[in-house]
Structure 1
Amino acid sequence: MKVEQIYTGCLAHAAYYIESKGVAAVFDPLREVQPYLDRAKKDNAQIKYVFETHFHADFVSGHLDLKKKAGSKIVFGPGAKPAYEAITAEDGQIFEVGDYKVKVIHTPGHTMESTTYLLIDEHGKEHGIITGDTLFIGDVGRPDLAQHVVSELTEEKLAGHLYDSLRNKIMPLSDDLIVYPNHGAGSACGKMMSKETTDTLGHQKKVNYALRPDMTKEEFIKELLTGLTTPPGYFPKNVLMNIKGYESLDNIMDRATTPYSPDAFEAVANETGALVLDTRNAEDFAKGFIPNSINIGLEGSFAQWVGEMIPDIKQEILLVTYDGKEEEAITRLSRVGYDNTVGFLKGGFESWKDSGKEFETANRISAQDLEEAMNDEKPLIIDVRKKSEYDSEHLIGAINIPLNEINQHLAEFPKDSTFVLHCAGGYRSMIASSILKQRGWQDFADVKGGFEDLSKTSLPKSEYVCPSTML
């Protein structure tokens, strides 16, 4: 049986495609559906079903556009109540895809409607399981998201359901089944996912902490909930979009791909209050940018950081991109529900600069520059990496304000003295720089190359101490 994994690195997301005798199915598709339509066309196949493992939080699914464009039937697991036409399957129900079969296994825990799909080949042999966010490689789905939509679904209740699902529904299955999860390392839907994106169930039973056979439910709940970070603010809003429905990506693209001259761009920004989002890389942004614009570069985890740093999912957005990157930016925004892009700057930042309009720059320094400065000025160093990264190793004397918490800690950034920002490599620190510039801070710099370069200097660094050895 051939199962094609379609992996999107910037979201650490995996969709799946199967086809048999001209009949195809897609599992957990992204918002832009043309790649799935093209794949089916290549096989001269019709996409009969779109299977959803659950109502996703970290992206807006493409199921509605596939239903519209391919006539596909949408399938959810037991208990799902979408606000549009879809099949709500029963536990154990079987769907035929050509000579293949797809069996519904209800596995509540990550969410109550969470479902695993057992794939059965043309010979009747069980091939693998598409697990959604129930089981990852090295991890399981976090149980603290649904309560942001339904308050009585506490993380403890869901963790208990997940324990039962894993023990009663997943672990009894054959060891030779291939596990096909919805996410890999880098996703915020778990806490310790592997970089591998498939594995056998047998191997996961041996190495996945959540599948230890001697684990009690109480131990499972405690271990699962320990170390969970706050989920991104856009997650509940994406869940609601997936439940209630959304506007077609075609309509969004038509509206968003409106080119504006510098004068028109400035006028629209002033009239609408739109956020100016500059998607160029950090180095180019630092050399010149439109005042009050925010930098989140396309070359990084763009959609995730948009979701973290722009609180209002309905915020109107004006884009500054490299030429030819406009549609990519719009698509990646829409993947996480930011559908109100109203246009882009024609000719990019260079057209703004050439028009003689005002622009700003950002101060970047090298790791060596900071090393020399510490001999004299000793500026405050602010590390905007995640707490886990900071705890692993950091410059002695640096304070940690994770990028996604910056708006809650603005008072800790001095306005009467110099400070220096850094992250791991310079991507996140420039996001932080652009936000601080927008809020009026001027006397600071960020370190290009981040901690990767700082670790090579003689600046004193902490050493990680394993908690079990601490007195």
Structure 2
Amino acid sequence: MKIHQFEDKGLAHFSYVIMSDAEIAVIDPTRNPRQYEEFAMLHDARITTVIETHPHADFVSGHLELSDAKQATIYVSAAVGAEYPHTTFDEGQEITVGKVTLRAINTPGHSPDSISVLLLDEEGKEHAVFTGDALFVGDVGRPDLREDVGQETATREDLARQMYHTTRQKLMTLPDHVLVYPAHGAGSLCGKALSEEKSSTIGAEKLSNRALQPMSEEAFVAFITADQPFVPRYFAYDVELNRKGASKFDSSTKKVPVLEPGTELEEEGLVIDTRPREQFKKGHLPKAINLQDGPKFETWLGSIVNPEEKFYLISDDEETLRELIAKTAKIGYERFICGALAAAPVESTETLPDLDLAQFKAHPENYTIVDVRNESEVKEKRIFPNAVEIPLPELRERLDEIPTDKPIVVHCAGGYRSAAGASIVAIGVEDVPVYDLSEAIQEFNPPATK
């Protein structure tokens, strides 16, 4: 028996291969199934089983494509209401993969239709549990994503109560030695306090996971519903897309229109310019948003751009452009790209000014400061007492809250989000300079030292 964990760092997502006797089960696969196919070829094994622990909100799964390519059976809870060919897999039901057994445990809480998968080894002993978004290392799944989407919905309070019973009556009753393999790690928006560790054990989680400590149901509900991170715009869209089954990765990404460098953009629409901020500042299209290529590009794209909203995608070079299209496809947004090009368009006439940092430090009161960090970050520490506080995902809709009687300085915590924020603010104001404080924010908010 072999368990292999695959990590998508951009989405802090873990997927898994369980291999026994040349048969493979894949749990919670990414949109592009190639890595699982290559693993199977390398080990001369056959993919027979694909399991979805629930309809994911933060990424598009490749379960349907993998099933079609390998004639593998997809297993998912009946509560999902999946619209693709599948076999239901719920409490107590078992699948044999080679010489091991996979048993379903219904674990609602993050979603009403969540299952965890208990792995029984060749001797029938509990070896590992694949917990999806129910139990993470250091946390449990947030309960506020399924109030209005999916076949089954529930209020966050009801789901929090379900999670209380899931953890206490299902997962915590497993033997302490059982390995815990979650679907996400630190950086995911599916929880609020995920550990950097990629796996754990039931015993270790019972000792250290704050959500698993002794407390009443009411205290648990209050704890789990408080201070959850923001919900990106694309989450509900991805839940429904995963219930229906996404199109094939390669064929879908190849349909994206790639334009010749220098092409004049004809359609009116959103422009996502992913070039480095210094290039963007020197010349960009009117109404372009500077969402730089980076480790969390797909999450911020789906947080700023609405599902079904058409946009152009601009990159530095052709290789990077292809990578960005692939990242876009991970959240199912590739079909909203109306054109992609690997160079600045010919009409890139807009610029952003450089901030005189010394002058800003000397007289910050002469500027309107806009803080685009998340509410939880601001709550933890306000950097500028009189800043206008608007989280980046809400900025496009709340531009009228920003005074325009002074030059505007936009900041975040490290510099990445402020580039996008400054470009969005510049779209919405006229005749007022808009500056990006960028990495200089560290001079006002130095990172904590251990």
The equivalent of 2:360 in structure 1 is 370
Distance 1:422 1:107 in 2: 40
Give the C-alpha shift of residue 373 in structure 1. 4.3
Q: In the alignment, is residue 163 of structure 1 matched against residue 164 of structure 2? A: yes
Residue identity opposite 2:360 in structure 1:
L
Residue identity opposite 1:114 in structure 2:
S
Distance 2:26 2:153 in 1: 32
Any conservation in 2 of the 1:252–1:340 contact (CA below 8 Å)? no
Give the C-alpha shift of residue 80 in structure 1. 2.4
1:250-293 deviations in whole A, cap 9, x for unaligned?
Answer: 23212115233423x423xx2xx342211223233223222222
1:38-78 deviations in whole A, cap 9, x for unaligned?
Answer: 12111122111111110111111111111122222111124
Any conservation in 1 of the 2:19–2:25 contact (CA below 8 Å)? yes
Q: In the alignment, is residue 418 of structure 1 matched against residue 419 of structure 2? A: no
Residue identity opposite 2:352 in structure 1:
A
Residue identity opposite 1:343 in structure 2:
G
Larger mean CA deviation between 1-10 and 425-434 belongs to 1-10
Distance 2:84 2:292 in 1: 35
The total of aligned residue pairs comes to 443
Q: Secondary structure at the match of 1:10?
A: coil
Any conservation in 1 of the 2:179–2:202 contact (CA below 8 Å)? yes
Distance 1:33 1:174 in 2: 33
Q: Secondary structure at the match of 2:194?
A: coil
1:448-471 deviations in whole A, cap 9, x for unaligned?
Answer: 2043232359xxxxx9xxxxxxxx
Distance 1:446 1:322 in 2: 21
1:201-259 deviations in whole A, cap 9, x for unaligned?
Answer: 111101112212x3221111111112224422211111111112232222321211523
Distance 1:129 1:118 in 2: 4
Larger mean CA deviation between 46-55 and 273-282 belongs to 273-282
Residue identity opposite 1:334 in structure 2:
A
Distance 1:427 1:230 in 2: 17
Using structure 1 for the length normalisation, give the TM-score: 0.89
Distance 2:108 2:237 in 1: 21
1:357-411 deviations in whole A, cap 9, x for unaligned?
Answer: 342222243755531443xx63122211112222333133333221122134212
Structure-2 change in CA distance of 1:72 and 1:256 (3 Å): same
The equivalent of 2:380 in structure 1 is 392
Structure-2 change in CA distance of 1:46 and 1:368 (3 Å): farther
Distance 1:244 1:94 in 2: 24
Q: In the alignment, is residue 453 of structure 1 matched against residue 443 of structure 2? A: yes
Distance 2:176 2:358 in 1: 52
Name segments (4+ residues, structure 1) moved above 6 Å. none
Structure-2 change in CA distance of 1:257 and 1:98 (3 Å): farther
Give the C-alpha shift of residue 188 in structure 1. 1.2
The equivalent of 1:430 in structure 2 is 419
The equivalent of 2:117 in structure 1 is 117
Any conservation in 2 of the 1:78–1:91 contact (CA below 8 Å)? no
1:275-334 deviations in whole A, cap 9, x for unaligned?
Answer: 2211223233223222222121221411111111012x1222322112111221111111
Any conservation in 1 of the 2:17–2:26 contact (CA below 8 Å)? yes
Any conservation in 1 of the 2:425–2:434 contact (CA below 8 Å)? no
Q: In the alignment, is residue 333 of structure 1 matched against residue 334 of structure 2? A: no
Using structure 2 for the length normalisation, give the TM-score: 0.93
Residue identity opposite 1:266 in structure 2:
L
Distance 1:84 1:373 in 2: 61
The equivalent of 1:291 in structure 2 is 286
Residue identity opposite 1:81 in structure 2:
G
Residue identity opposite 2:324 in structure 1:
A
Q: How does 1:12-411 map to 2 (within 5 A)?
A: 12-149=12-149, 153-212=154-213, 214-256=214-256, 258-263=258-263, 265-267=264-266, 270=267, 273-311=268-306, 313-323=307-317, 324-338=319-333, 339-346=335-342, 348-349=343-344, 352=345, 355=346, 357-365=347-355, 368=358, 370-374=360-364, 378-393=366-381, 394-411=383-400
The equivalent of 2:428 in structure 1 is 439
Any conservation in 2 of the 1:255–1:343 contact (CA below 8 Å)? no
Residue identity opposite 1:437 in structure 2:
A
Distance 2:238 2:402 in 1: 32
Any conservation in 2 of the 1:279–1:319 contact (CA below 8 Å)? yes
Superposition CA RMSD, Å: 2.1
Distance 2:283 2:202 in 1: 51
Residue identity opposite 2:336 in structure 1:
N
Q: Secondary structure at the match of 1:222?
A: helix
Give the C-alpha shift of residue 7 in structure 1. 1.0
Any conservation in 1 of the 2:75–2:88 contact (CA below 8 Å)? yes
Q: Secondary structure at the match of 2:54?
A: coil
Any conservation in 1 of the 2:373–2:392 contact (CA below 8 Å)? yes
Give the C-alpha shift of residue 136 in structure 1. 0.7
Residue identity opposite 1:433 in structure 2:
A
Q: Secondary structure at the match of 1:128?
A: strand
Question: Share of identical aligned residues, percent?
Answer: 36
Residue identity opposite 1:401 in structure 2:
I
Distance 1:361 1:259 in 2: 23
Structure-2 change in CA distance of 1:225 and 1:456 (3 Å): closer
Any conservation in 1 of the 2:230–2:374 contact (CA below 8 Å)? no
Unaligned runs of 5+ in 1: 458-462, 464-471
Structure-2 change in CA distance of 1:396 and 1:415 (3 Å): closer
Unaligned runs of 5+ in 2: none
